[in-house]
Copies of this chain bind each other. A is one copy, B any other.
Amino acid sequence: MSKLKTHINFDLLNNLSDNTFQLKKGGYLYRKADASTCIMLIHSGSLKTVYSFEGTKEHRVDDFHIKNDIIGLDAMMDSYYSTDAIALEDSIIKAVSYEKFSLCASRSPEVVEMLDTLKARFMARKEETRRILNNLRAESRMAAFFISIISRMASIGYSNQEIQLKMTNKDIANFLGVKGETISRAKKSLVKTGAILWDKKNFKILNLEILNKIISPKTSHNLMFGF
């Protein structure tokens, strides 16, 4: 229950890694109800996790995952995945089996500590997405979503550059709990205010102030984490 370490030793994780997956765009890293046997690190590329309901084609985008994200921790609770994980582009995934992990854990406190840090980060991320969803208006959700994604991109070296959104418009809509047409319109509106640049897949934040105002008009509260 120690203070959150924001830094994770990726070199250590990579050294532990005993397996590498190469995924094509649209490929599945794992499927719902698969048994979870390892922790996975996104070495390059990006994925979405999706949970689906029985008996229909209805599904929900649970989250998007980018380089340096750990993926598959949703199995922490019961050792089976609760989502499908699908590559948004060609991606490379490194895996550390739980076996290896516990083997090393017994002689390296650093490994134990890292696992705790990973769990904590996983939870913090869940918390963040929950707060994004809690915004009432579609534009607010979108603004919160963009701040979140840009801030995560920044943490892997894309410091407020123009980035490429690999997911479809529809994926974003689904994630935010609105319809595709609403995203289209909110996008148009946000671009017009000058808050963002968003043409096709290309995206950039131009004016953070405006975005924050849209999220919470009456305050100056700032959702940016380590931008």
Write the residues of chain A forming the contact surface with B, with a CB cutoff of 8 angstroms: 1-4, 36, 51, 53-56, 58, 60, 74-79, 82, 98, 119-120, 122-124, 126-127, 129-131, 133-136, 177-178, 216, 218-221
Is there contact, CB below 8 Å, between B220 and A55? yes
Instruction: For A54, give its contact among B54, B55, B221 (CB under 8 Å).
Output: B221
B79 touches A2 (CB 8 A): yes
Copies assembled: 2
Q: Do A76 and B130 touch across chains, with their CB atoms under 8 A apart? A: no
Residue contact A79 to B3, C-beta cutoff 8 Å: yes
> Across the interface, which residues of B come within 8 angstroms of A98, CB to CB?
1
Chain B: CB-nearest residue to A101: B1
From B36, B75, B82, B219, A58 is in contact (CB under 8 Å) with B219
Instruction: Report how far A216 CA is from B53 CA in the complex, Å.
Output: 9
